Structure 1
Amino acid sequence: MMINARSLPRPNAHDRYRPVYHFTPPSGWLNDPNGIVHHEGRWHVYYQHNPTQPTWGDIHWGHASSADLLTWRDEPLALAPSPTTADGQGCFSGSFAWVNGTPTLYYTGWQNGVQTQCRATSQDLMTWEKDANNPIIPHPPEHVRQDDFRDPYVFQHGKRWYMVIGASLHHDRGAALLYRSDNGQQWTYLHVLHTATRTDQGVMWECPNFFPLGDRWVLVVSVWPKLGARYFLGSFEDERFTAEREGVIDGDGGAFAHLTAVGPDGRLLQWAWIDEQRHRDLIVPGGWAGVLSVPRQLALVDGDLYVQPVSELTQLRDKLLCGGEVLIGPTEPTGFQGTHLDLQLTLEADIEHPVHLSLLCSPDRSEETILTFDPGARLLKLDRSRSSLDPRVNRDSQRVHLALRRGERLELRVLLDGSVLEVYAGGRACLTSRLYPSRTDSVLGRLTAERVTAGTFTVWTMGEDKGPPR
């Protein structure tokens, strides 16, 4: 049965955990963002989707589009499993490419535990025809299992097409495999593009991206199982990648399956999947699961990868709750309240003591989530131990390394959207999380420091007048 996403009812708009300015599916399950492209004035984002249940399974490709990166219109489903074929049990993740002017999706088919690479084409980005020769890559190379072979990322370099596939070597080390094609249809395996060299780099690499940025090439991989996203910076010459630097995009696995695309203005934008971190019993009644991050802009700064929310998000700011210069101390917190907010905090340079930002607090603070920058430990930490009184939600704490240079000020951008939290630290560190307070009065916030600290702090409400889809 063909399902049209536009006909599916959106779950209760009054669901307090459902974000208002992050994209969610009309109903059912969402995970990885897939092919992303800008065409004729609109962004098109495809994504992993179960249209009938808010749980993983029966994976299709959902589709949404936007003229402004802020408001999204649900489009018809792009891909659905075809029984008895290579994708009979799921159309898994992949990417988009213009091949000789034809919109083309590359994706992983799943059938009876076997992963193969498939292809579909379109004339209008709405209806897609699967290649009669699917699977176009039926087998992995030596030392890669048939179920460790997925998520093709396709790009053109010079006159040739290249595909990078996520894999595991000997089911022990994450790897990105490189293929080459002259026409985007027949593919030749070349070699391992890059592989894990340490145990903390993971057993399996999923959702690889490989793209130029400035004078460098960037390889982004999602480290399975849910160990976050890593990037490697280096050179790509003679079809060989030499990694020179590495880092973490999202610490502690809060976001996953990052996917990158170039906009008409040359900006390099990226989306990621933010999963549910609560028990199935709490998810199913709501009828939806999974969120995409806000669009993020990537840049190369001082030879390293920087990640920030796109500037368009400021258009969603509504009421200014507080703003201006502040003296932050331990006894008189700067207070605010709200569940859909955009916060910016800039502190004086060379602070030596922790600063705390509390969110979604109840009046008695029995529920409270605390974001702390500890300059001595060089950590940005998110304490979720009291984020909810409900034991069925994930309350593990998260952290990411953040070492400020001498004379550098801390600059935090915090996006709170119902249950979604994204934290950006000067472009150099990112934490993504989910928060599910059980009390309806857990809406308060406070800013404190262990010693008096000067800074600027602004808080806006967000998305109250987002308007209809465009």
Structure 2
Amino acid sequence: MDNNNRNKPTGTGLVAHWPLDEGSGRTAMDVVSGQADEISYALLDARFTEAIDPGWRFGMNGGSLLFDGYSTWITRKAGASPRLGEAFTVSAWVAPRSYEWGAEQRLSAIVNQHDREAREGFIFGIYRHGSWSLQLGLGGEWHELWCHDRPLAKQKWSHVAATFDKDQAGMKLFLNGEQVAELATPANTAMTPCASDLLIGKNNQAAVLAEAFRHNMFDGLMDEVRIYDRALSTAEIAAYYEAELLPHEGDIPAIAEADIRLDRAPLLKDRHRPQYHASPPVHWMNEPHAPIYFNGKYHLFYQHNPQGPYWAQIHWGHWVSEDMVHWRDLPIALAPEKGAVDPDGAWSGSAAYDENGIPALFFTAGDDSASPNQRVGLARSSFLEDGDSDLVRWKKHQEPLIVQEKGQGMFGDFRDPFVWKEGELWYLLIGSGTDGQGGTALAYTSGNMIDWEYKGPFYVADPDAYPYLGNMWELPVLLPLGKDGAGEEKHVFLISPLGPGADVEVFYWIGAFDCDAFRFVPDHDEPQLIDVGDFHFTGPSGMVDPRTGRNIVFTIAQGERTPQLDYDSGWAHNAGLPVQLLLREDGRLGVEPIEELKSLRGELLCSLRDKTLAEANGLLANVQGDMLEIQVEFAAGAEAGTGTVTDTSRMGLKVRRSPASEEETFLYYDPHSSEFGVDRLKATSAPEERIGGVQSGKLELRGEALRLRVYLDRSMVEAYANGLKSLTTRVYPGRLDALGLQLYGDEDQRIKSLDIWEMKSIYW
């Protein structure tokens, strides 16, 4: 069938046909009526980047339309919609990119014009794990025809068709020209019409998530959408399917990876989206986790919703890198699967080496049909079978490794396994609580990575003394720090609190790890913070880098924006920069950005030594940027010219500053109060952004001069003070000229050194 012929109405009863061959633009032409229907898409009128058309791609014949999973759909107004009642056929070529969970038991619509509660109209769409259905209202009743045993494959073309016929009193489903399901309907009963708009790709009654976000959206490619006002026969549908394959020598063509992947290119110019922090191509992420080094490459995974920039449909995204700085996107590593251990979500976990030295993933397997619904799952790399050096393919163990039993922690809260191997044993920590005694990590050991023995709580803090630790701990991490000054082996134990009254930050203790008893004995009862930025440095994961022996920690940098802004932007959250944790000579925990970040330095924009504050600011007047590395050391005491701390007290750096300081973000240190903080009261003039206030924490320099290492990456601000504390925060300036810098301090303050580099993107 050539392109000219297929764009004409073919066969009696064809009342609408969207070939989706436009290749560009904001409308889809129905070649039967000649009407151009509006396409919705979040970036049509982009607020923070260049406006672009929806994703037009190659299709089964000619072009196709890529539906992004949350903001793309086609609208045919109700008054112009085909009138259907006694019989109809709906058909399309579809290639789902992901499956929704099925909020409120509603379908991700292919085509629909319905009101389920009023029992009117019809919906044809996809459900959990690729099952699909035709549903419609007949005589005041709602009828559903399902195909569960022939799910629609991800990222592959399938031809689907659905028919209803009052005279034949039945509904039918067809997959690739073959009837796969049938349901009898009441005799001589027509479909009850619905007055809603006819939508392609969006459910008329989509479940509301937050503000603009709706569930029940189609995600993937769609082509050749047709509606007939009669029920095509089995022979007609088969003949049509075969005719569509003639240009492809009788086979369904493969889809080019570039045509269906999540593509970061449309968001690269977003003025708030970080460019040298790891991020998913688009949509939503939460904590990066399961770092592991294998075959010369670092792998890092992350919690991901491929369907949109909101929390739901949890998968494992995947990056690979040779230096932990320049990350390359890989296909999704783990997705919820029917019949597997994780039908309702693949949640956070870790990676470890198996008995053959090959990476294995330990994850929180979500299964809402079980109690508890959180279990430990295992997936093994296929490297030994097929040499998959990028670790793209994973095979899940059929049964959960650990199912929580009553008496083992807080029943029902059991997630985020952290696994490592020492000697002949694998050790596992998992986040939980201790009914009435606060949070904990539960300890398990195994001699074969499959069978695990419970060893009890790893460590329990005093919930009365530290109520901000909540009643449950997530994301436990244990890393070796080496020997202290007294020759004692030390470890650092990281957790993220959750529950009533919890301060959701990364807290840590330094102490001794009793390997035999599998217990942690802290040197200090009070938990400490790595970062003082208040909820922007969270979700810890960690590894001992086999190449260098360093302790590397990865985190999520929360976005802090409203759901509407996330919707308009198409992305939510990114990873923080990788940091190294070490035990300092003074016994305190050191935190530093990894040295590999120097590879991102571009032009040296400013370099000065031993200047007054005024002189330094004069040289800074022409330095601007939102992708910078800044290193500054303030002279202290006698070096500052005063010999004492002055009344002005605060010293620091203003970033993302507009020329007259209408907008600015102030990073400061107050030696009087030993306070390291950020003042964001003037960070943005945009009323829709919800950042603001002061975030700070304790930093004792003990006579050291203040040294700041600051990374600006569009909305990201990360500051590291003297290798002791970090401060991670977000800013979304409303002004395009908020790009300046200014040092702050007493008028006698001297600047010992200042170096500023332009930073390069890891994606351009």
The Cα shift of 1:404 comes to 1.0
Q: Given the alignment, which residue of 475, 497, 506 partners 1:223?
A: 497
State the distance in 2 between where 1:400 and 1:291 align.
23
Partner of 2:378: 119
Contact 2:347 2:366 in 1 (8 A): yes
Q: Given the alignment, which residue of 432, 444, 447 partners 2:743?
A: 447
Is 2:292 aligned against 1:292? no
Partner of 1:462: 759
What SS does structure 2 have at the residue aligned with 1:461?
A: strand
Is 2:304 aligned against 1:49? yes
Map residues 70-469 of structure 1 onto 2, 5 A cutoff: 70-83=325-338, 85-101=340-356, 102-112=358-368, 114-124=373-383, 125-133=391-399, 135-142=400-407, 144-170=409-435, 173-197=438-462, 198-214=466-482, 215-224=489-498, 225=502, 227-237=504-514, 238=516, 239-245=518-524, 246-251=527-532, 252-263=534-545, 264-302=547-585, 303-325=587-609, 326-328=611-613, 334-335=620-621, 336-350=623-637, 352=645, 353-391=649-687, 392-406=689-703, 408-454=704-750, 455-463=752-760, 466=762
What SS does structure 1 have at the residue aligned with 2:597?
A: helix
State the distance in 2 between where 1:410 and 1:82 align.
52
State the one-letter code of the partner of 1:254: H
Structure 1 pair 332/442, CA: closer, same or farther in 2 (3 Å)?
closer
Structure 1 pair 143/412, CA: closer, same or farther in 2 (3 Å)?
same
Contact 2:363 2:376 in 1 (8 A): yes
What SS does structure 2 have at the residue aligned with 1:216?
A: strand
State the distance in 1 between where 2:693 and 2:413 align.
29
What SS does structure 1 have at the residue aligned with 2:568?
A: helix
What SS does structure 2 have at the residue aligned with 1:282?
A: helix
Q: How many residues matched? A: 465
State the one-letter code of the partner of 2:511: G
Contact 2:340 2:398 in 1 (8 A): no
Q: Say which is worse superposed, 99-108 or 373-382, in terms of deviation.
A: 99-108
State the distance in 2 between where 1:367 and 1:448 align.
15
CA-to-partner distance for each residue in 1:333-387, whole Å, 9 max, x for gaps? Answer: 6443210010011122346221131111122322111111101011111011111
Q: Given the alignment, which residue of 241, 261, 267 partners 1:7?
A: 261
Which has a greater percent of helix?
2
Q: Say which is worse superposed, 429-438 or 361-370, in terms of deviation.
A: 361-370
The Cα shift of 1:313 comes to 1.1
The Cα shift of 1:278 comes to 0.8
State the one-letter code of the partner of 1:267: R
Contact 2:630 2:757 in 1 (8 A): yes
State the distance in 1 between where 2:540 and 2:305 align.
19
Contact 1:171 1:204 in 2 (8 A): no
What SS does structure 2 have at the residue aligned with 1:21?
A: coil
Contact 2:468 2:503 in 1 (8 A): no
State the distance in 1 between where 2:569 and 2:470 align.
33
The Cα shift of 1:166 comes to 0.9
State the distance in 2 between where 1:154 and 1:331 align.
49
State the one-letter code of the partner of 1:7: R
Contact 2:444 2:454 in 1 (8 A): yes
What SS does structure 2 have at the residue aligned with 1:75?
A: strand
State the distance in 1 between where 2:447 and 2:652 align.
55
CA-to-partner distance for each residue in 1:135-181, whole Å, 9 max, x for gaps? Answer: 22122552734442110000112321110011122266121111111
Contact 2:367 2:373 in 1 (8 A): yes
Which has a greater percent of strand?
1
State the distance in 2 between where 1:77 and 1:443 align.
36
What SS does structure 1 have at the residue aligned with 2:333?
A: coil
State the distance in 1 between where 2:713 and 2:722 align.
20
The Cα shift of 1:83 comes to 3.2
State the distance in 1 between where 2:432 and 2:480 align.
22
The Cα shift of 1:394 comes to 2.2
The Cα shift of 1:220 comes to 0.8
What SS does structure 2 have at the residue aligned with 1:212?
A: strand
Structure 1 pair 364/126, CA: closer, same or farther in 2 (3 Å)?
same
The Cα shift of 1:329 comes to 5.3
Q: Say which is worse superposed, 414-423 or 147-156, in terms of deviation.
A: 147-156
The Cα shift of 1:261 comes to 1.4
Partner of 2:171: none
Structure 1 pair 39/373, CA: closer, same or farther in 2 (3 Å)?
same
What SS does structure 1 have at the residue aligned with 2:598?
A: helix
CA-to-partner distance for each residue in 1:360-419, whole Å, 9 max, x for gaps? Answer: 11223221111111010111110111111223322232112111113x111111001010
State the distance in 2 between where 1:143 and 1:104 align.
25
The Cα shift of 1:259 comes to 1.1
CA-to-partner distance for each residue in 1:6-28, whole Å, 9 max, x for gaps? Answer: 82111421101111110110111
Contact 1:373 1:380 in 2 (8 A): yes
The Cα shift of 1:94 comes to 0.3
Contact 2:468 2:497 in 1 (8 A): no
State the one-letter code of the partner of 1:127: R
State the distance in 1 between where 2:345 and 2:627 align.
35
Contact 2:652 2:667 in 1 (8 A): yes
State the distance in 1 between where 2:291 and 2:300 align.
5
C-alpha RMSD of the superposition: 2.1
The Cα shift of 1:462 comes to 0.6
State the one-letter code of the partner of 1:227: V
Contact 1:393 1:436 in 2 (8 A): no
The Cα shift of 1:232 comes to 1.1
CA-to-partner distance for each residue in 1:307-354, whole Å, 9 max, x for gaps? Answer: 111111112111222212221259966443210010011122346221
Tell me: higher relative CO, structure 1 or 2? Use CA pairs within 8 A at least 6 residues apart.
1
Give unpaired runs (5+ residues) of structure 2. Answer: 1-152, 156-256, 384-390, 483-488, 638-643
State the one-letter code of the partner of 2:274: P
Q: Given the alignment, which residue of 263, 266, 272 partners 1:17?
A: 272
Map residues 58-69 of structure 1 onto 2, 5 A cutoff: 58-69=313-324
State the distance in 1 between where 2:555 and 2:467 align.
24
What SS does structure 1 have at the residue aligned with 2:567?
A: helix
State the distance in 1 between where 2:154 and 2:576 align.
28
State the distance in 2 between where 1:404 and 1:227 align.
25
Larger gyration radius, structure 1 or structure 2: 2
State the distance in 1 between where 2:348 and 2:447 align.
23
The Cα shift of 1:287 comes to 1.4
Contact 1:400 1:429 in 2 (8 A): no
CA-to-partner distance for each residue in 1:256-299, whole Å, 9 max, x for gaps? Answer: 11111122122221111111111111111221111111121121
Structure 1 pair 327/220, CA: closer, same or farther in 2 (3 Å)?
same
State the one-letter code of the partner of 1:269: I
Map residues 16-35 of structure 1 onto 2, 5 A cutoff: 16-35=271-290
What SS does structure 1 have at the residue aligned with 2:343?
A: coil
State the one-letter code of the partner of 1:236: F
